[in-house]
A and B are shown apart, each in its own frame.
Chain A
């Protein structure tokens, strides 16, 4: 049986992969997937802690994180689709209408 520490290492790794993906990738869809990785790292954390403390708060939290992640994914894909229709690109480097 895995210990809480092992779960934490797994989730921290997953989280860092997600962060690295968000920072380094240029395709919006891939960035979205990286963000989902981060949220899943959170879920692993919550489940591990729920097991350790023996209460269900972490599981409830996880359910809500999953639901919110789905809502965000749906909204995000809608937004990306609107961008793609107008600009024919899903690359963050080509988003330069707004000057910075």
Chain B
């Protein structure tokens, strides 16, 4: 019977949304001006194009996140079976983790995690190379 309640809840939720949208489009006055059609940005007029170039940092962080995020897919099954796996499982998951830590140290030293002014020599070199490429 628990499923019926869920079904009614879903139906009510969907129905309410549909009815509200229909009502507002039927009853609401329509007087479009350019300001009203512009994307909402904190009540201020929008500045520039939404498609402007993002810093490459965003892509890098997204990729790094994707990789380290997946380690959870292995940590959860291990945590669930923690008692059954015992020390063997512990050693294995720590080994797995240490390999990831080496990867983490690598990206840290290569300056992937530096957002502000570069702090490592490798990151400074990378930033310099990027400036030169942009200038060229």
Contacts and interface: CB of A to CB of B under 8 A. Distances in A.
A and B touch in the complex (CB under 8 A): yes
Contacts of B62: 77
A51 interface: no
Contact of B70 (A71, A77, A78, A81): A71
Contacts of B67: 70-71, 74
Contacts of B56: 81
Contacts, number: 25
Interface string A7-40: 0000000000000000000000000000000000
B66 A63 contact: no
Contact of B77 (A63, A71, A74): A63
Nearest to A70: B70
Interface string A40-70: 0000000000000000000000010011001
Contacts of A73: 66
Interface residues of B, number: 12
B70 to A, nearest CB: 4
Contact of A74 (B63, B73, B74): B63
Question: Binding site of B, secondary structure by majority: helix, strand, loop or mixed?
Answer: helix
Interface string A72-89: 011001100100000000
A84 B96 CA distance: 33
Interface in B79-117: none
A44 B53 CA distance: 38
Given A66-B70, A71-B70, A77 B63 contact: yes
Contacts of A67: 70, 73-74
Interface of A: 63, 66-67, 70-71, 73-74, 77-78, 81
Interface of B: 56, 59, 62-64, 66-67, 69-70, 73-74, 77
